[in-house]
Structure 1
Amino acid sequence: MNLIVGDKIQIGGGVRKATKTFQRLVNIEFINVLKLKTKYQSINPPCKKCKKRMKSKGKNQGYQCIKCGSKSSSKKIIKLPRLISKTLYIPTISAHRHLTRPKQRLRTINQKNQFSKKIQWITSF
């Protein structure tokens, strides 16, 4: 998963107690991505004449094209696409624990079951 600083996520799972041989462990059962921060990258500006990338002349001195000699003062900032989306990420069904609800049943509500009050739930033998 390609998370960056500033992304808002919700994590669900359980905490396993520490033992003599292992430290405390967090078992993550789902990750819900709530908000994604936009990702930017600064690159050397392209030359307007010959379309080649300019080289830096040094700290705070701008950029210059090696091929034709044209100059630029600042870097170009581009917006990068994110490889993840705002959705719920859960493991495959074979990796679910006994309390994790499968993805196809996440937004469904259990139907009301009508039980007969005549039948005893607990009996002693």
Structure 2
Amino acid sequence: MKKLGIYMEQSSARLIEFTIDILKTKSDLTYFDFFDEKHPKERNLNQIEYQEAYLQNHFFNKLSEYILYYNEVLLFGKSNTTYKLFDLMAYDNRFYKINITIKQTDTMTFNEQNNFVSDYFLLGKL
């Protein structure tokens, strides 16, 4: 059974694959990775909000692609982005067989994130 922990912040995510040997960090993604600097600096507020919403949607779609390869997923972090991602996946039939859990946490270091994921999957769902 493949297991994945995703630590989410406002505009970034850290994917931590749970394995018996070690915890492997798959990728650190931010939705600013998809930002295009070709646009002029002087944009009105509507354009900025639209672009941020577009980037966040694209970011969530990219995360969703990773999640499809796992049987069990732990979404955790301080921000509400975990709930936004979960809401996006809740209406998609491809995620019905994936066990997805959300846990609210404080800001964590890399070691704390790894420990949280291993404790969750090894010690029986914190």
TM-score of the aligned structures, taking structure 1 as reference length: 0.23
Bigger relative contact order, structure 1 or 2 (CA pairs below 8 A, ≥6 apart): 2
TM-score by structure 2 length?
Answer: 0.23
More helix as a share of residues: 2
Give 1 or 2 for the bigger CA radius of gyration. Answer: 1
